[in-house]
């Protein structure tokens, strides 16, 4: 909008091909951003059917409705890489998917790239910031810190890449205008262990780090030790490098939760 763009939003179910087609055709867009998904990374085979319907079939409904001459920016996920060694690069061959969510996201990416055309498939990496669901790690830690309550967690030795939401959005917006088609990671944030991240949250929130109970919970089965992206293509073809430093992103996120008056 700051760039003078008019934005139209689809309110509906991507499984409804007619509704998707009508909405997109009415908007007559130059760019279609497809972020609609059911996000659930549990290794639960009973999720397979709904993931296929929403992630794969729903995405193809969107792709089929994009007008000739318009660009599709399809938002995939870093989960598609599976359990191969980090950092994850776009030309790496993923492992066997570890969840129905990852499996159908990967199937969608492959089908869209096979079709070709003016398509950019973006794979964002771990993102935090205002508005994130309370059960996710960073908001859960913030709410505990603001309440001054104990925060039990695993050893938290596994590392992750941390991207503030504004940076992820900026990277996705660059996908709309870059002279590029194909697959690109949207990443570049710092790599930090989960335990170190939780301690940073408590420090930024002004809470005692003694409340962080590292090792109080058992490790989750199948935990990936290092999970972060190779940002070379992101920098080269999108010109994108995250701009928000970690502590600044956490300050903004803590302030958002504090303004809501919510804690654990």
Structure tokens at 26: 């009415």
Q: Known catalytic residue: 101?
A: yes
Catalytic entry in 81, 88, 101, 128: 101
Q: How far apart are CA 119 and CA 97, in angstroms?
A: 23
Q: CA 169 to CA 25: how far, in whole Å?
A: 25
CB 188 within 8 A of CB 246: no
Angstrom distance (rounded) from CA 250 to CA 16: 38
Contacts of 116 (CB under 8 A, 6+ apart): 181
Q: How far is CA 91 from CA 118, 158, 233, in A?
A: 19, 24, 10
Contact 66, 18 (CB under 8 A): no
User: Which residues have a catalytic role annotated?
Assistant: 101
């Amino acid at each position: 909008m700051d760039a003078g763009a008019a934005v139209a939003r689809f309110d509906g179910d991507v499984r409804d091909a007619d509704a998707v087609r009508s909405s997109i055709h009415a908007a007559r867009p130059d760019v279609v951003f497809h972020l609609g998904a059911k996000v659930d990374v549990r290794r639960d085979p009973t999720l397979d059917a709904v993931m296929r319907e929403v992630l794969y079939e729903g995405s193809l409904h969107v792709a089929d409705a994009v007008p000739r001459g318009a660009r599709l920016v399809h938002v995939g996920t870093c989960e598609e890489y599976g359990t191969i060694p980090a950092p994850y690069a776009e030309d790496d061959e993923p492992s066997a998917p570890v969840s129905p969510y990852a499996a159908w996201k990967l199937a969608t990416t492959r089908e869209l790239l096979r079709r070709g055309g003016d398509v950019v498939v973006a794979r964002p990496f771990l993102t935090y910031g205002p508005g994130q669901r309370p059960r996710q790690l960073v908001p859960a830690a913030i709410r505990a810190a603001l309440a001054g309550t104990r925060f039990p967690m695993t050893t938290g030795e596994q590392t992750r890449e941390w991207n503030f939401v504004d940076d992820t959005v900026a990277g996705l917006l660059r996908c709309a205008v870059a002279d590029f088609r194909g697959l690109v990671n949207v990443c570049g944030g710092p790599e930090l262990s989960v335990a170190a991240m939780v301690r940073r949250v408590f420090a930024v929130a002004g809470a005692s780090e003694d409340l962080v109970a590292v090792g109080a919970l058992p490790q989750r089965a199948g935990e990936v030790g290092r999970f972060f992206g190779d940002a070379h293509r992101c920098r080269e073809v999108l010109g994108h490098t995250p701009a928000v430093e970690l502590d600044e992103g956490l300050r903004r996120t803590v302030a958002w939760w504090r303004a809501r008056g919510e804690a654990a």
